Amino acid sequence: MDSLKKTPLFDLYKKYNGKIIDFAGWALPVQFESIISEHEAVRNAAGLFDVSHMGEITVKGREAFAFLQNLITNDLSKLKDNQVFYTFMCNYDGGVVDDLLVYKYSDKHYYLVVNAANIEKDYKWMRDNKGVYDVEINNISDEVSELAIQGPKAEEILQKLTDTDLSQIKFFYFKDNVKIAGVDCIVSRTGYTGEDGFEIYMPNKYAAELWEKIIETGKEYGLKPVGLGARDTLRFEAGLPLYGNELSEEITPLEAGFEFFVKFDKGNFIGKDALLKQKEEGLKRKIVGFEMIDNGIPRHGYEVRADNQKIGYITTGYFSPTLKKNIGLALIDAKYAEMGNQIEIVIRNKPLKALIISKNFYKKNYKK
Amino acid sequence: MKVLEGLYYSKDHEWVKVEGDKAYVGITDYAQHSLGNIVYIELPEVGAELSAGDVLGVVESVKAASDVYIPVNGKVIDVNTSIIDDPSLVNNDPYENWMILVELKDKSQLDNLMTAEKYKKFLDEE
């Protein structure tokens, strides 16, 4: 554990009984109290997450817009100042280098939030594709901490710690220089749980103090500290993808079912030709949602079968704490991908029956 | 971590409670605690003949599936179906909520297991 990277909150985990694991080279809590109670706290009240391991990269300069528009799949011309969007950064084969959030200050200044495991790769990819664009790219991940407060009570709790009217921050917008408990933060109405909530960015030195203040303030509302375990079950129920599971350099956004974030009509971008070709030829594989008919828990990597042959594998599977059902996502041969189809999941060498259903297992509670 | 006197313990965190020629087998408080919320349990068929080290069942937490091993030879004469219906019982009381009842084939194998006192020491070193 000593060789792992630590967030500024590491020393606090012990106080909250955090069970530490190695997550992509980071020492992070998989749970505090229990995955299920933390999951339920976020669905019914609120949860606080340390997501300081996530990466932050700034893109500034005269050609910041043009540079990024070429780099990502979503249409940056649609993004307003102080707005945030979700997008993919693809390779030339259409595979996903990373999925990320783009925060727009102006067309000369953007703030990117990327996955922890991909920070170095992304930063290199961006510099490698800088070409002649007049931009300055900076990886500020080591200076920035991030906390996420998520759940139906998130706004009420956070509002107690700031004079800024948080109801004015709309879904997928952000505000800079918001004082939370006296600390200057970037606050966005975004998150990764399917619930309303905020992501808060601040310099490392304030993270522990802010964590404690939010925990203290939220206690009476039922707020709990939440680990990576519930973070995964929550995002999974809400149909949100995880890099390394539903997305990778070998899986395209179209196969993952996220064509919505790929704007073919915006002009050129890296990966466009490959993605367009895939779209025109038709998908050979697709990510589908499924529910177990037989009793058994589907897990990441398990084989999926139909017609006595392997047709794919599970990207994520769980006993869903909210739905109380065994459900999963799987990347399978597109010809079996229709909803209502029966497939088989091989669990400990036994093929068990499952049914293809919508990937939106849980109806999201965003405040729009 | 709760460790009961009078039981035998394995290094894989199973417990064995001997009653005459029969023994109840379950997982320890340490094991249930390490697993976290248990959401699924698979047990063997009644009549199955198991040897020490065989997988007796599978316990799945929210995060992962873990095998449970039987530390002694035995023939399964009963399985606790109530924990299949409600796996969280094992989290609540792992000693009360046994997994299988076996007919012991070789009682001398119990000598290879730890007493409560030794198991406590073993946990301190974990």
- On whether residue A223 sits in a domain, the answer given is yes
Burial of A113 (0-12, 13-18, 19+ CB in 10 A): buried
If one counts every other C-beta atom within 10 angstroms of the C-beta of residue A202, the result is: 23
Contact A36 B62 (CB under 8 A): yes
Specify the CATH number for the domain of residue A22.
3.30.1360.120
- Provide mean pLDDT across the span B108-126: 95
Residues A136 and A168: beta-carbon distance below 8 Å:
no
Residues A300 and A316: beta-carbon distance below 8 Å:
yes
For residue B64, which residues of chain A lie inside 8 Å, CB to CB? 299
Which positions ≥6 away from A367 have C-beta within 8 Å? Answer: A155, A171, A189, A196
Is the same domain home to A221 and A288? no
Is the same domain home to A194 and A332? no
pLDDT digits (tens, 9 = 90+) for B62-110: 989 999 999 999 999 999 999 999 999 999 999 999 999 999 999 999 9
Of A34, A296, A297, the CB nearest to B37: A34
- On whether residue A200 sits in a domain, the answer given is yes
Is the same domain home to A185 and A313? no
Phi (first) and psi of residue A210, to 5 degrees: -70, -40
Question: Scanning every residue of chain A, which has its alpha carbon at the shortest distance from the alpha carbon of B63?
Answer: A229
- On whether residue B17 sits in a domain, the answer given is yes
Is the same domain home to A230 and A308? no
Q: Mutate which of B62, B85, B92 to test chain A, going by most A C-beta atoms within 10 A? A: B62
Give the total number of structural domains in chain A: 2
Is the CB of residue B40 less than 8 Å away from at least one CB of chain A?
yes
CA pseudo-torsion sign A69, A192, A229, A255: negative
A320/A316 Cα distance (integer angstroms)? 11
A346/A269 Cα distance (integer angstroms)? 39
Domain containing residue A174? 9-53+142-238
Residue B93's closest CA among B10, B22, B26? Answer: B26
- On whether residue A133 sits in a domain, the answer given is no
Phi (first) and psi of residue A232, to 5 degrees: -75, -45
- On whether residue A61 sits in a domain, the answer given is no
- On whether residue A195 sits in a domain, the answer given is yes
Assign residue A158 a region: left if phi > 0, alpha if psi is -120 to 50, beta otherwise? alpha
Burial B68-97 (b: 16+ CB within 10 A, else e): bbbbbbbebeebbeebbeebebbbeebbeb
Contact B65 A319 (CB under 8 A): no
Contact B36 A31 (CB under 8 A): yes
- On whether residue B122 sits in a domain, the answer given is no
Is the same domain home to A152 and A41? yes
A334/A285 Cα distance (integer angstroms)? 4
- On whether residue B81 sits in a domain, the answer given is yes
- On whether residue B117 sits in a domain, the answer given is no
- On whether residue A243 sits in a domain, the answer given is no
- On whether residue A91 sits in a domain, the answer given is no
Burial of B6 (0-12, 13-18, 19+ CB in 10 A): exposed
For residue B67, which residues of chain A lie inside 8 Å, CB to CB? none
For residue B58, which residues of chain A lie inside 8 Å, CB to CB? 348
- On whether residue B110 sits in a domain, the answer given is no
Question: Going edge to edge, which strands form the sheet with B100-104?
Answer: B8-9, B14-19, B22-27, B100-104, B74-79, B49-50
Domain containing residue B22? 8-105
- On whether residue A301 sits in a domain, the answer given is yes
Q: What is the pLDDT of residue A1?
A: 66
- On whether residue B97 sits in a domain, the answer given is yes
- On whether residue B3 sits in a domain, the answer given is no
Is the same domain home to A231 and A293? no
Q: pLDDT (tens digit, 0 to 9) for every residue of chain A, 368 residues total?
A: 678 999 999 999 999 999 999 998 999 999 999 999 999 999 999 999 999 999 999 999 999 999 999 999 999 999 999 999 999 999 999 999 999 999 999 999 999 999 999 999 999 999 999 999 999 999 999 999 999 999 999 999 999 999 999 999 999 999 999 999 999 999 999 999 999 999 999 999 999 999 999 999 999 999 999 999 999 999 999 999 999 999 999 999 999 999 999 999 999 999 999 999 999 999 999 999 999 999 999 999 999 999 999 999 999 999 999 999 999 999 999 999 999 999 999 999 999 999 999 999 998 888 87
Burial of A363 (0-12, 13-18, 19+ CB in 10 A): exposed
Burial A296-333 (b: 16+ CB within 10 A, else e): bbbbbebbbbbeeeebbebbbbbbbbbeeebbbbbbbb
Rg (CA), chain A: 21
Give the total number of structural domains in chain B: 1
SS3 call for A270: coil
Q: What is the pLDDT of residue A2?
A: 75
A179/A161 Cα distance (integer angstroms)? 8
Is the same domain home to A148 and A220? yes
Chain A interface with B: residues with Cβ < 8 Å: 19, 30-31, 34-36, 229, 233, 295-297, 299, 318-319, 321, 326, 348
Write out the binding residues of A for substrate: 199
* Domain boundary residue, one of A208, A238, A268: A238
Question: Scanning every residue of chain A, which has its alpha carbon at the shortest distance from the alpha carbon of B67?
Answer: A348
Q: What is the pLDDT of residue A364?
A: 87
Burial of A290 (0-12, 13-18, 19+ CB in 10 A): buried
Specify the CATH number for the domain of residue A349.
2.40.30.110
Is the same domain home to A148 and A234? yes
Q: What crossing angle do the helices spanning A228-237 and A35-44 adopt, rounded to 10°? A: 50
Classify strands B74-79 and B49-50 as parallel, antiparallel or unpaired.
Answer: antiparallel
Helix (H) or strand (E) segment spanning residue B89: helix B88-92
